[in-house]
Structure 1
Amino acid sequence: MQQQSIQLTDTIAVNEDVLATELDGEISMLHIDSGNYYTLDGVSSDIWLLAKSPITVQSIVSRLLDMYDVDEPTCTAQTIEFIHNLVYLKLIRIVA
């Protein structure tokens, strides 16, 4: 399977086939089709919450830079890697 490259200009959104709830800063998710269960916390839950509405990867990076003490290259690389994993798991989808 060919892996899709994530770009800063990509717009992403939460996959509609994922049920999610937030409790005490953690996001618990169930992918309806696969039956897999996931939990996110910290920065990963912030990214998930930002992606509840369509948003560009660049906008997520910008918001994280405002929220956390991290340099832009590190934030960009780690955000893209995490989003890539979410897309691979079909938890997030690229909408544009």
Structure 2
Amino acid sequence: MVINTIISLKDTVVQGEGNIVSDMGGEKVMLSVKNGKYYNLGDIGGEIWELIQSPTSITKLVNMLTASYEVEESECLQQVLSYLEHLLNEGLIEKR
């Protein structure tokens, strides 16, 4: 299967600035000051958010998640790329 993405395994991502994040009932929620929107990052999305506090490669991110959860690497990669692309499109993360 060919996945057409704007983020790939060779990329590194990091949290964008200007976001206020809080823990609500075990899930991360975020207010983007820049675009005035609230986001529910969820449980695993919140974990991804924490893992990208400093620049982190997509490969390292997928490896950490597959070590923590029972998920096939290909499925994890597909879901992580989709999630990160959403965050990137919203201006919440930076790609390096």
**TM-score band (shorter)?**
0.7 to 0.9
Q: Give, in angstroms, the shift of residue 88 of structure 1.
A: 0.4
Gaps spanning 5+ residues in structure 1: where?
Answer: none
Cα offsets for 1:46-95 (capped at 9, x unmatched): 1111011110111110000001000111011111011000100111111x
Equivalent AA in structure 2 for residue 21 of structure 1: S
Q: In structure 1, what is the equivalent of residue 52 of structure 2?
A: 51
Equivalent AA in structure 2 for residue 60 of structure 1: L
Equivalent AA in structure 2 for residue 8 of structure 1: L
The CA distance in 2 between the partners of 1:23 and 1:69, in whole Å, is 25
Q: In structure 1, what is the equivalent of residue 91 of structure 2?
A: 90
**Percent sequence identity over aligned pairs:** 30
The CA distance in 1 between the partners of 2:61 and 2:41, in whole Å, is 16
Runs of 4+ in 1 over 4 A off after TM superposition: none
Equivalent AA in structure 2 for residue 81 of structure 1: S
Gaps spanning 5+ residues in structure 2: where?
Answer: none
Equivalent pairs counted in the alignment come to: 92
Q: In structure 2, what is the equivalent of residue 15 of structure 1?
A: 16
What's the C-alpha RMSD, in Å, of the aligned pairs?
1.3
